[in-house]
Amino acid sequence: MQSRELYQRYHRLILKLAREGQSRSGSLERLRGLLAQFELEAAGIAPNSVRFLREQLSEQLEHEALCSAHSDQRYVLFAAVKRLEQLSDRN
């Protein structure tokens, strides 16, 4: 999968998860699964491209979290940002 397609797909999936309004613990569990799947799919992309992809996705989600009026949505989006940053720091 191309990095642009990967970005669009996971951006959409994370936003959808944030908007579903599940419990925070349920959302975090699903978010971990989504981001684990993201990492598996990104494994075929050059490491520098994956790092850039994580950074771009993280920046976009952070912007959307800051603009959100819903605390549960912000929580999920900021959790995604934090996890993506952790993944970038490790690699």
Write out the residue range of the structural domain in which residue 58 sits: 3-90
Averaged pLDDT for residues 5-13: 96
DSSP assignments along 45-87, one per residue = S-HHHHHHHHHHHHHHHHHHHHH-S-HHHHHHHHHHHHHHHHH
Domain count within the chain: 1
Can you give the pLDDT at residue 1? 62
Q: Are 35 and 87 in contact (CB under 8 A)?
A: yes
Q: Confidence band (pLDDT; 50, 70, 90) for 91?
A: low
pLDDT digits (tens, 9 = 90+) for 21-66: 777 778 899 999 999 999 999 998 988 899 999 999 999 999 999 9
Threshold 0.85, pTM exceeds: yes
Residue 32 to residue 81: CA distance in whole angstroms: 12
